[in-house]
Structure 1
Amino acid sequence: MLKVVKNQTAALNALKTGQIDGTLIDQSMYKEATASGLKVVGMRGNTTRLLLTDHQGKKIRALGSLDVRRAMNMVFDKEAIAQDFYQGRADPAYQIFRPGSAASIKDLKEPYPDNVAKAKELMKKAGFEEGFTLTFPMFEGLGMEKLMPVVARQLSVLNIKVEQKLLSGPKAVEELLSGKYPAPLWPLGNYANSLQDINDYVKVDGIWNLSHQPDSTVAKLTEQLSSAQGQEAVKIQQEINRYIIDQAWFVPMAYPDGYYAHSPKISVPRSTDANVLLVRGEQGEDEAR
């Protein structure tokens, strides 16, 4: 039987008192869970990111500026987010693709190092020195409400005001994917096959390319990719990755660990994982890929 508990703290308390057998928890709850005698297994399969899908500035005029999108990347210290916010249970992310996948660029250096002064210069150059407003959709239970103040604080140095819109009810996901909010903060999963990431996040009809705005370079490269094989396919996927990095389509922040805490009275068996996620053991060590 499944029980809906909207708040992660309440869910952990319910687990500790035996009301439920298991629940998802975030990094801040890991030590409390293990100290309470609970078992914890983890998995790394997400990239925390901002999706800047309105590349043409149709809904939010500022996002049509490459300088603005690059400036937004330059006010986040990804190392600090991984170490401080995620308490060391994450790695900084400089690209959206999972390390080891075909599209991932190995040993990629941070393309947009934390540089507030340079970011402000870019905002001024683009004509948006006074900033603008972004509305972030939110779901209860994802843990993003803890990261939101960090993101809002960093964007505020560029005079970007963050507003939150809580989505609920049977049409919440439909509203999220409608394109009404063209720049959400979201912890999206990564596939073992980066072609699926390209299909979902980059192609014009991708479910998470929320604004569905055509791009001639992406169209050309994905057309080439449709018939490419082997190393040629890898080369094109990495070319797509370099292009969306250069165009600042995303603000990747971290590859965090996710955790499932459960009662020691039950077992959580290993299962076949089509996406070959990095599994974390009880103490957080890597067990398999």
Structure 2
Amino acid sequence: MTASRRTFLKGLAVAPALFGGLSSTISAYAQKAKAHGDLIVAIAKPAGNLDPHKYIGLWAVQDLMFEPLMRYGKNGQIEPALATEWAVEDNGKLLRVKLRQNVTFQDGTSWDAEAMMWNLDRWIGKPANNWMNSSRLYSGHRIVDPHTVELQFKEPVLGLLYEFSYVRPSRFLSPKSVDKDGNYQAPVGTGPWIQESASNSESTFKRFDGYWGDLPTFEHVELKVLPDSRSRMAALRAGEIDLAGGDYLAPIKATEAKALESAGIPVTVETGTTTIVLAYNPDRNEALKDVRVRKAINIGFDRAAIGQVLYQSLAEPAGSLFPANVPHAGKRFDVAKRDVEAAKALLEVAGWSGSGIREKDGKKLSLELVVSEEQMAGSRSLGEILQSQLGEIGIELTIRSVDHASRHSDIPARKYDMALFYTLGAPYEPFGTLVGLFLSTFNNGVDGKLFLDPANLDPLVLAATSASEADVAGATQAIYDWLYNEVAISPLFYAPIIWAHAPRVQGFTPPSTEYDLPYKNITLGA
């Protein structure tokens, strides 16, 4: 079934009515929760294996326990964390860090140079992590004293400080939290929260009162697994949770955000650093090998109208791969405007003709779009609008909805004609996406690839990763120009960061990245 713009607007008109009668239940819950000193946060799936050197668990949950050398702050500012000072020397090939003193892991183990290098030895310089420049170019280290370490690299490392702010694999685990063979056993870090329990329904954490920094004002964090968006909204309405949001934690749709606002639930929206992208797989569908077909698709739908209807104008239509707030985002490309006649003309020239669904050599112009509500809230609705609008230019679009597990198997196996992706966002940009989602020789696990062209695209990506600081802007721009000219991808929207919280949550500020859990500065009122 297809869906029109009118259908979506009609659906939105009744949404605020769903949120009536909140104040008494929220008030009763707030009084009870305050007595227990708990912050209750929704998560869309279980936290999983929290080993910070593996790519498995929920990033934001790892952030509760594991800290980096430097932290990525607002607008990309690098802030001290487990390192208090640093210097990049030897023309960018040496990093000297001064470690914070009087810090212990949650099991009492000292944080010092030996603990730092024990952690780095678990991941740096290993092929699996060579998507990071610091790992690929690492050549050795020197412990100067118990709280000073020098890291040496073969070449200058672009984005070096950003890489040491990543949630994984750059954060620090207690050396005592592994068995005699070095196998991870428990999530023990230096952060302000200690894991108490973990199950498929919830995880609980207590405050680490030996934490070196500012202590949270509340004693516990409870993470409630609520896989369905509707269940999260119901829990917010009923006062059963305090906080939900973030694209990777417990996503809130723009339509839900507007309805929550109308009901008096505090909602915070900021422009994020991730982009929603429509990916093409020409290796699976012959029609997509023709750039004219990709161009027709790119101008065959209306980003502005979709943004107003589906995202309530909270998401900015995208012309470039990255929003301007991402380092080395490149020049701004114009947002493609819908042009039905031009799209039809491109398909005619490409040999796809006929009324209704176009055909070529007796074959219909039929494409499959894979979406996952668990991976991207609202993706099914977005797919239905694309289905309707592309149908008007003669393209038959079928939609296959998959759960999170199926997406993580189908996307890397390239079992799709088209699919919806997120770029990785801060602090991983631009090289996290450029290498992870485009370089054919890099195995990025379950994330899959936005586009593959080993002959033409790989050399551009490799040139950018090895460019000097003076040349990196031109090298990354060469990638963006190629992607734009080939219509290798279709950037759709710069995803907004949306959070909603109970009225009793005071001092909430959105996190600097989608990989952090925003517990800082929060106080729990009556």
TM superposition score category, shorter chain reference: 0.7 to 0.9
Q: Relative contact order (alpha carbons < 8 A, sep ≥ 6): 1 or 2 greater?
A: 1
Q: Which amino acid aligns with 2:492?
A: M
Q: Contact between 1:94 and 1:109, CA under 8 Å: does it hold in 2?
A: yes
Aligned residue number for residue 217 of structure 1: 456
The CA distance in 2 between the partners of 1:163 and 1:28, in whole Å, is 24
Task: Determine if the alignment matches structure 1 residue 133 to structure 2 residue 329.
Answer: no
Q: Contact between 2:371 and 2:383, CA under 8 Å: does it hold in 1?
A: no
After TM superposition, give the deviation of residue 209 of structure 1 in Å.
5.4
* Higher Cα Rg, which structure: 2
Aligned residue number for residue 164 of structure 1: 399
The CA distance in 1 between the partners of 2:404 and 2:432, in whole Å, is 28
The CA distance in 2 between the partners of 1:74 and 1:228, in whole Å, is 34
Report the structure, 1 or 2, having the larger helix content: 1
Aligned residue number for residue 263 of structure 1: 502
Q: Which amino acid aligns with 2:416?
A: Y
Q: Contact between 2:439 and 2:452, CA under 8 Å: does it hold in 1?
A: no
Task: Determine if the alignment matches structure 1 residue 32 to structure 2 residue 267.
Answer: no
Q: Which amino acid aligns with 1:47?
A: T
After TM superposition, give the deviation of residue 160 of structure 1 in Å.
1.9
The CA distance in 2 between the partners of 1:223 and 1:97, in whole Å, is 19
Cα deviation code 1:170-191 (max 9, x no counterpart)? 4541223221114202344433
After TM superposition, give the deviation of residue 270 of structure 1 in Å.
4.8
The CA distance in 2 between the partners of 1:97 and 1:211, in whole Å, is 14
Q: Contact between 1:41 and 1:261, CA under 8 Å: does it hold in 2?
A: yes
Larger mean CA deviation between 254-263 and 182-191 belongs to 182-191
Aligned residue number for residue 50 of structure 1: 278
Mark the CA change 1:82 to 1:165 in structure 2 (over 3 Å): closer, same or farther: closer
After TM superposition, give the deviation of residue 102 of structure 1 in Å.
4.5
Q: Contact between 1:102 and 1:234, CA under 8 Å: does it hold in 2?
A: no
TM-score, normalised relative to structure 2: 0.47
Mark the CA change 1:232 to 1:46 in structure 2 (over 3 Å): closer, same or farther: same
Q: Which amino acid aligns with 2:274?
A: N
Task: Determine if the alignment matches structure 1 residue 244 to structure 2 residue 477.
Answer: no
Q: Which amino acid aligns with 2:468?
A: Q
Structure 2 matches for 1:1-289, cutoff 5 A?
1-24=222-245, 25-43=252-270, 44-52=272-280, 54=281, 57-110=282-335, 112-129=336-353, 130=358, 131-141=364-374, 142-168=377-403, 170-192=405-427, 193-205=429-441, 207=444, 208=447, 210=449, 213-267=452-506, 270=509, 273=512
Q: Contact between 2:438 and 2:450, CA under 8 Å: does it hold in 1?
A: no
After TM superposition, give the deviation of residue 115 of structure 1 in Å.
1.4
Cα deviation code 1:6-58 (max 9, x no counterpart)? 43233212211122222231111223212333222334233222111x2xx33
What SS does the corresponding residue of 1:49 show, helix, strand or coil? strand
Mark the CA change 1:128 to 1:3 in structure 2 (over 3 Å): closer, same or farther: farther
Listed as ranges, the gaps of 5+ residues in structure 2 are: 1-221, 246-251, 359-363, 519-526
Aligned residue number for residue 287 of structure 1: none
The CA distance in 2 between the partners of 1:103 and 1:116, in whole Å, is 33
Q: Contact between 1:98 and 1:190, CA under 8 Å: does it hold in 2?
A: no
The CA distance in 2 between the partners of 1:45 and 1:260, in whole Å, is 15
What SS does the corresponding residue of 2:490 show, helix, strand or coil? strand
TM-score, normalised relative to structure 1: 0.82
What SS does the corresponding residue of 1:184 show, helix, strand or coil? strand
Mark the CA change 1:220 to 1:255 in structure 2 (over 3 Å): closer, same or farther: same
Cα deviation code 1:239-258 (max 9, x no counterpart)? 11010011011111211313
The CA distance in 2 between the partners of 1:100 and 1:199, in whole Å, is 19
What SS does the corresponding residue of 1:202 show, helix, strand or coil? coil
Listed as ranges, the gaps of 5+ residues in structure 1 are: 280-289
How many residues are matched?
A: 274
The CA distance in 2 between the partners of 1:226 and 1:187, in whole Å, is 21
After TM superposition, give the deviation of residue 152 of structure 1 in Å.
0.8
What SS does the corresponding residue of 2:268 show, helix, strand or coil? strand
The CA distance in 2 between the partners of 1:263 and 1:271, in whole Å, is 14
The CA distance in 2 between the partners of 1:248 and 1:39, in whole Å, is 40
Q: Contact between 2:436 and 2:449, CA under 8 Å: does it hold in 1?
A: no
